[in-house]
């Protein structure tokens, strides 16, 4: 499984000197998945037009797992495209809308400006509205239920003042009510004119001199495998080719992965069991060691008691006298 890396197919012109191929070499198409952590999981689709590389503006999602996937990019003469993953469409649209190949057909008229008397306010304050005489009230008032403590000493504590509490009659800042603006004209829209720099290119989809295919890789962990590259103008053939290659192996790969996962699960379960059994044996050994230590302690105490007893004097016998 890729933790962080990109694997892209690049199509180069036939004039490429492959002996000097590098990351700056001009290419026509760059296509493939880019995965890094949780934030980046997308398919890059970069197309070259008039010597400049253009990245698709849409976020094209890719798959992020340990299985092999089939990536397909399709460019059509009607200036549309389609991206498929595992023979399923995940994105499509217009080449002229989803890339910045062309200058915008319309631009804002640089000579136009909003009239000074253009009023964009939908509502205005009512000039006839007046603030009520009893509106202004303090935000806080002395607590009428508070009483001075009996032990309050004004000479020591100063003059007693009741604590402040929120005023239930406080209404905040007064503002006149709003009414519909009779002069309201809506939001002013900047008029547009034809862009003199806009030139439509009907052949964005066309690349006529593809001669080299290569891989552009950036990875922090090795192990990626690439195979079965196909460049064709026959959609049906490409679909059948996918079924005869990836379509044949995908289920076998999934079965093999499931088998490996099951073996790993069993191995982990055995390891956990061995650890649990080992812990039980250690606890049993510790208990036996504790019993042995207790027996040794008892023997040491008996010997100490014997050593601490005073010798008893015996009455000598007649022979000893």
For the residues 30-58, what does the mean pLDDT come to? 91
CATH number for the domain including 39?
A: 2.60.120.200
Cβ(207)–Cβ(79) below 8 Å? no
Verify that 67 and 13 share a domain, yes or no: yes
Verify that 13 and 93 share a domain, yes or no: yes
pLDDT band of residue 300 (cuts 50, 70, 90) is: low
Verify that 24 and 92 share a domain, yes or no: yes
Verify that 19 and 86 share a domain, yes or no: yes
Residue 121 forms part of a structural domain:
no
Query: Distances in Å between the alpha carbon of 19 and those of 22, 25, 30, 214, 215?
Result: 9, 11, 20, 12, 15
pLDDT band of residue 316 (cuts 50, 70, 90) is: very low
Helix axes 235-244, 246-308, angle to 10 degrees: 40
Question: Residue 273's pLDDT is what?
Answer: 87
Verify that 223 and 263 share a domain, yes or no: no
DSSP-assigned beta bridge partners for residue 123: 180
Is residue 318 predicted with pLDDT exceeding 60?
no
Question: Residue 317's pLDDT is what?
Answer: 41
Is residue 234 predicted with pLDDT exceeding 90?
yes
| pTM across the whole model | 0.65
**169: which residues sit within 8 A by CB, 6+ positions away?**
137
Verify that 207 and 276 share a domain, yes or no: no
For residue 19, give the 3-state DSSP assignment: helix
Cβ(74)–Cβ(51) below 8 Å? no
For the residues 54-62, what does the mean pLDDT come to? 93
For the residues 161-182, what does the mean pLDDT come to? 95
User: What total of structural domains would you count in the chain?
Assistant: 2
- The 10s digit of each residue's pLDDT in 179-221 is 999 999 999 999 999 999 999 999 999 998 999 999 998 887 7
For the residues 122-136, what does the mean pLDDT come to? 94
Residue 143 forms part of a structural domain:
no
Task: Identify which of 28, 47, 43 has the alpha carbon closest to the alpha carbon of residue 88.
Answer: 43
Verify that 227 and 260 share a domain, yes or no: no
Question: Residue 65's pLDDT is what?
Answer: 81
Is residue 291 predicted with pLDDT exceeding 80?
no
Q: Is the dihedral of CA 41, 43, 44, 49 positive or negative?
A: negative
For residue 98, give the 3-state DSSP assignment: helix
Verify that 37 and 74 share a domain, yes or no: yes
Task: Kindly report the average pLDDT of the chain as a whole number.
Answer: 87
**H or E stretch covering 164:** strand 164-166
Host domain of residue 81: 4-103+202-232
Residue 197 forms part of a structural domain:
no
Task: Identify which of 3, 39, 31 has the alpha carbon closest to the alpha carbon of residue 231.
Answer: 31
pLDDT band of residue 112 (cuts 50, 70, 90) is: very high
pLDDT band of residue 93 (cuts 50, 70, 90) is: very high
């Amino acid at each position: 499984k890729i933790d962080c890396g990109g694997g892209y197919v690049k199509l180069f012109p036939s004039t490429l000197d492959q002996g000097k191929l590098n990351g700056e070499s001009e290419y026509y198409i760059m296509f493939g998945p880019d995965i890094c952590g949780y934030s980046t999981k997308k398919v890059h689709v970069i197309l070259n037009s008039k010597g400049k590389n253009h990245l698709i503006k849409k976020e094209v999602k890719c798959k992020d797992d340990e299985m092999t996937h089939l990536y397909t990019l399709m460019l059509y003469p009607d200036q549309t495209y389609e991206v498929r993953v595992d023979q399923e469409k995940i994105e499509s649209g217009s080449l002229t809308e989803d890339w910045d190949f062309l200058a915008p057909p319309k631009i804002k008229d640089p000579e136009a400006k909003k009239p000074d008397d253009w009023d964009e306010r939908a509502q205005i304050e009512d000039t006839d509205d007046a603030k009520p005489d009893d509106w202004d009230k303090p935000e806080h008032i002395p607590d009428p239920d508070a009483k001075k403590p009996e032990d309050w000493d004004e000479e020591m504590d100063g003059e007693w003042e009741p604590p402040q509490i929120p005023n239930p009659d406080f209404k905040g800042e007064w503002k006149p009510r709003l009414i519909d603006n009779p002069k309201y004209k809506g939001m002013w829209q900047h008029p547009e004119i034809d862009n003199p720099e806009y030139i439509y290119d009907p052949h964005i989809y066309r690349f006529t001199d593809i001669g080299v295919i290569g891989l552009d890789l950036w990875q922090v962990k090795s192990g990626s495998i690439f195979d079965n590259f196909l460049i064709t103008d026959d959609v049906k053939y490409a679909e059948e080719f996918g079924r005869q290659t990836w379509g044949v192996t995908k289920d076998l790969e999934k079965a093999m992965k499931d088998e490996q996962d099951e073996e790993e699960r069993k191995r982990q379960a055995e390891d956990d069991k061995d650890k649990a059994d080992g812990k039980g044996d250690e606890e049993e050994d510790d208990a036996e060691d504790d019993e042995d230590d207790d027996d040794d302690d008892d023997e040491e105490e008996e010997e100490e008691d014997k050593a601490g007893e005073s010798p008893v004097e015996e009455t000598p016998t007649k022979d000893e006298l």
